[in-house]
Chain A
């Protein structure tokens, strides 16, 4: 079973629109960590956020915000007033307290149209 599901394969929005990227995870651990990474067209992986399972506060960083809801096992990412530079593939990821592995979702490719 997929540990991290990103159901949206591709999304296109017009510049300045808001967009939400969905992430649903699956774990039996009570302690776990969730991450988002960005992969721009240049190919590198850029860390965006890390959140532990005990911190359900939403986080905002500039135009980026994250909504963590344990009740629905979701960790969604919203970009407000999208810009062309936001065009990238975004990956959600999970690590658990048991075991030492790291699990990525399949990614969501975001295109922001000028």
Chain B
């Protein structure tokens, strides 16, 4: 089944404790992206990747890192999480770029205490 998977689905952590949210797609998609969803703000793009080893900042990259060492994986790293990073995070992928339809993972709900 074609899908985008994220792990973990739920995470409670404390300020400053490094964490990684994994994202994997099995559709051989070139473009992958991370978003955060907050009430009243919709979804905002954190980082995106056009291909392996090619990543770039979205609208809200502060406090996040990403890497794209393999085509299928695009982990989101929070080196020192803070409470303002409490949010719902979505990973997405598309075949050729941002102009193509993006398919989303199930979301990761993160609470930073």
A residues at B contact (CB < 8 Å): 6, 9, 33, 35, 37, 43-45, 47, 50, 52, 91, 95-97, 99-107
Contact = CB atoms under 8 A, between A and B. Distances in A.
A33 B94 CA distance: 14
B42 A100 contact: no
Given A101-B59, A104-B42, A50 B104 contact: no
Given A45-B90, A95-B99, A97-B99, A107 B42 contact: yes
Interface string B25-39: 000000101010000
B98 A101 contact: yes
Interface of B: 31, 33, 35, 40-45, 48, 50, 56, 58-59, 88, 90, 92, 97-104, 106-107
Given A50-B101, A101-B59, A101-B98, A106 B40 contact: yes
Contact of B106 (A44, A100, A104, A106): A44
Given A91-B43, A106-B41, A107-B42, A44 B104 contact: yes
Given A47-B101, A99-B98, 12 more contacts: A43-B88, A43-B106, A52-B99, A100-B31, A101-B48, A101-B58, A102-B58, A102-B102, A103-B59, A104-B43, A106-B40, A106-B42
B53 to A, nearest CB: 15
A107 B99 CA distance: 20
Nearest to A102: B98
Contacts of A6: 42
Nearest to A52: B99
Given A33-B99, A106-B40, A100 B56 contact: yes
Nearest to A50: B101
B43 A100 contact: no
Contacts of B107: 43-45
B44 to A, nearest CB: 7
A88 to B, nearest CB: 14
A53 to B, nearest CB: 10
A12 to B, nearest CB: 18
A99 B33 CA distance: 14
19 contacts: A9-B40, A35-B101, A44-B104, A44-B106, A44-B107, A45-B107, A47-B101, A47-B102, A52-B99, A99-B98, A101-B48, A102-B45, A102-B58, A103-B59, A104-B35, A104-B45, A105-B42, A106-B41, A106-B42
